[in-house]
């Protein structure tokens, strides 16, 4: 009897689908918490979320899941690359990771990271790392414990953490791609800094009425194919995309009247995540086949729509006239090229989330550089600010003026998300590789964008990436789609070409 017809398979995947349904309720509550929850409801919401998290964990680690998995594996016929094998493989991986973590550690991590995030907010506000230090020490110690509990074979403890976000990826592979990427980017940033061309930043910092931004952003998200009958776009302090489940995907963005790129490129970014969620097969909900392959692959989709598409000159060949109609007073007398240059300004700055397409990855690599020795114990937590600033100077040629714009800027460490950062740059590299493959197959994508045609690229991504769910691990998916292994080169080639033209040194 083949696996899909066996009662064990049916029982296991009924169980997993119900767990996914429970998880989707938590996601919806989480979205509401970030968007519409009245402040007095915070305590009730925390209780609701904790209860649901407990129920999901209990179902995920149920011994019955282990029995069913063992039964299926004993029946044989698995281990190939079919959807059924992928579903069982990922169910096993999730089960192993969850059951290897002692309940006490899970609870302690949840407790410490909740409190630590509160302390981090205050420490960042006060620009005072010393306040945060004892909490970061606790988080790092717990994450080290997590790595030991999960196990990492011949690799490093960091691999065990990375694996939670980018299954199958190792620190060594990341390092191999990051080193040449960093060398090329540092050089490119220097070339740009030396250019005499200085784009006019004032074009993007004029007063762009928020209502008009809202309408324009929605129009752009619709144009690239985000389906508003299966999703929403709202406002949140920290933009995100939450795929609640089939037919329901929630995007958020934030508006700054005097900084046009923030909301629009934020919307395109999150809509790129949203297209991935909307492109997953509905019937596979709750299984690996109905789930994204990794955070890096997810990020490849958002960065592609944000940068390869949204920051291209051709995109604006199509959208600049509508933008001029939407913002008549601000864009009056501005040319397409002046606008294109302004939305592509490259300038080293302190804050990662505000960084341009070129410097962004240097911010990510700095974090990767610190996280590994933090977890191995080679970098004492107390030394983080000094090493952060030294590395920042080395990568970006600037020294942060205080810890709020230095090592205290991101929420990740306080939330226990160590090992997460590399997925941002992996996403950028995957995006460039996927984009080249799409270009090769679809002809001149740029010309299509200039005509306002985004469906061919979207459909290509749907077929080649979205509908494959988590059939393959990220590196294998990359190979299946592009025939290549992970490489920094398509990304640096793209950046050198684009910014060489913009800054006149190609
Ligand atoms: Zn993203």
Distance 299 CA to ligand 1 centre (A): 5
Distance 84 CA to ligand 1 centre (A): 29
Q: In terms of DSSP bridges, do strands 241-245 and 248-253 run parallel, antiparallel, or are they unpaired?
A: antiparallel
Give CA–CA dist 502/284, Å, rounded. Answer: 44
Q: Which residues on adjacent β-strands are paired with residue 253?
A: 235
Read off the pLDDT of residues 279-312 as tens digits, 9 standing for 90 and up.
999 999 999 999 999 999 999 999 999 999 999 9
CA distances from 178 to 43, 74, 115 (A): 42, 40, 33
Predicted confidence (pLDDT) at residue 111 exceeds the cutoff of 90: no
Query: Of the candidates 487, 436, 431, 485, which has an alpha carbon nearest to the alpha carbon of residue 180?
Result: 487
- Give the 3-state secondary structure of residue 332: coil
506 is catalytic: no
Give CA–CA dist 414/44, Å, rounded. Answer: 23
Give CA–CA dist 314/457, Å, rounded. Answer: 14
Distance 37 CA to ligand 1 centre (A): 23
- Give the 3-state secondary structure of residue 245: strand
Predicted confidence (pLDDT) at residue 1 exceeds the cutoff of 70: no
Predicted confidence (pLDDT) at residue 471 exceeds the cutoff of 70: yes
Distance 5 CA to ligand 1 centre (A): 38
Dihedrals phi, psi of 464, to nearest 5 degrees = -85, -25
Give CA–CA dist 233/230, Å, rounded. Answer: 11
Distance 295 CA to ligand 1 centre (A): 8
Read off the pLDDT of residues 339-378 as tens digits, 9 standing for 90 and up.
999 999 999 999 999 899 999 999 999 999 999 999 999 9
Higher pLDDT, 77 or 388: 388
Give CA–CA dist 258/407, Å, rounded. Answer: 27
Predicted confidence (pLDDT) at residue 384 exceeds the cutoff of 70: yes
- Give the 3-state secondary structure of residue 305: helix
Give CA–CA dist 323/306, Å, rounded. Answer: 17
What confidence category does residue 258 fall into, taking pLDDT thresholds of 50, 70 and 90? Answer: very high
Q: DSSP label at 469?
A: T
Ion ligand 1 nearby residues (CB, 5 A) = 302
> Which sequence spans correspond to the domains of the chain?
7-155
**Mean pLDDT of the residues in the chain:** 96
How many percent of the chain have pLDDT more than 70?
100
In this predicted structure, what is the pLDDT of residue 39? 86
Could you say which of 270, 306, 314, 357 is catalytic? 270
Q: What is the pTM of this model?
A: 0.96
Query: Of the candidates 313, 314, 301, 246, which has an alpha carbon nearest to the alpha carbon of residue 268?
Result: 301
């Amino acid at each position: 009897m083949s696996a899909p017809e066996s009662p064990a398979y049916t029982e296991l995947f009924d169980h997993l689908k119900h767990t996914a349904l429970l998880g989707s309720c938590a996601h919806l509550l989480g979205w509401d918490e970030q968007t519409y929850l009245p402040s007095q409801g915070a305590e009730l919401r925390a209780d609701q979320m904790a209860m649901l998290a407990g129920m999901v964990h209990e179902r995920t680690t149920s011994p019955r899941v282990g029995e069913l998995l063992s039964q299926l594996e004993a029946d044989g016929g698995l281990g190939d690359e079919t959807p059924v094998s992928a579903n069982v493989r990922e169910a096993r991986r999730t089960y192993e990771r969850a059951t290897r973590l002692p309940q006490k550690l899970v609870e302690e991590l949840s407790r410490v990271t909740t409190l630590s995030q509160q302390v981090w907010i205050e420490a960042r506000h006060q620009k005072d790392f010393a306040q945060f230090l004892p909490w970061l020490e606790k988080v790092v110690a717990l994450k080290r414990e997590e790595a030991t509990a999960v196990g990492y074979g011949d690799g490093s403890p960091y691999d065990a953490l990375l694996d939670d976000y980018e299954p199958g990826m190792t620190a060594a592979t990341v390092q191999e791609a990051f080193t040449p990427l960093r060398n090329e980017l540092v050089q490119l940033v220097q070339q740009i800094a030396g250019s005499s061309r200085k784009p006019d930043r004032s074009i993007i910092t004029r007063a762009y009425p928020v209502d008009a931004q809202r309408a324009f952003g929605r129009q752009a998200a619709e144009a690239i194919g985000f389906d508003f009958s299966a999703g929403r776009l709202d406002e949140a302090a920290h933009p995100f995309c939450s795929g609640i489940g089939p037919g329901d995907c929630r995007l958020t963005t934030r508006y700054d009247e005097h900084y046009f790129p923030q909301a629009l490129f934020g919307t395109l970014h999150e809509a790129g995540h949203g297209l991935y969620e909307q492109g997953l097969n509905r019937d596979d909900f709750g299984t690996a086949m109905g789930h994204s392959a990794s955070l890096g692959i997810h990020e490849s989709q958002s960065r592609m729509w944000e940068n390869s598409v949204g920051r291209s000159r051709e995109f604006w060949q199509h959208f600049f006239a509508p933008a001029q109609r939407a913002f008549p007073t601000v864009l009056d007398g501005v040319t397409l090229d002046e606008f294109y240059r302004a939305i592509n300004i490259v300038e080293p700055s302190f804050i990662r989330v505000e960084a341009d397409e070129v410097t962004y990855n240097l911010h990510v690599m700095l974090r990767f550089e610190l996280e590994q020795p933090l977890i191995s114990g080679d970098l004492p937590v107390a030394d983080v600010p000094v090493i952060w600033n030294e590395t920042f100077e080395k990568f970006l040629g600037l020294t942060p003026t205080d810890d709020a714009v230095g090592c205290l800027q991101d929420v990740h460490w306080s939330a226990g998300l160590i090992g997460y950062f590399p997925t941002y740059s992996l996403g950028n590299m995957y995006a460039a590789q996927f984009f080249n493959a799409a270009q090769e197959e679809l002809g001149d994508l740029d010309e299509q964008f200039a005509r306002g045609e985004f469906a061919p690229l979207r459909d290509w991504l749907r077929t080649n990436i979205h509908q494959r769910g988590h059939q393959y691990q990220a590196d294998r998916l990359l190979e299946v789609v592009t025939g290549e292994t992970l490489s920094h080169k398509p990304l640096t080639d793209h950046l050198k070409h684009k910014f060489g033209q913009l800054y006149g040194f190609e």
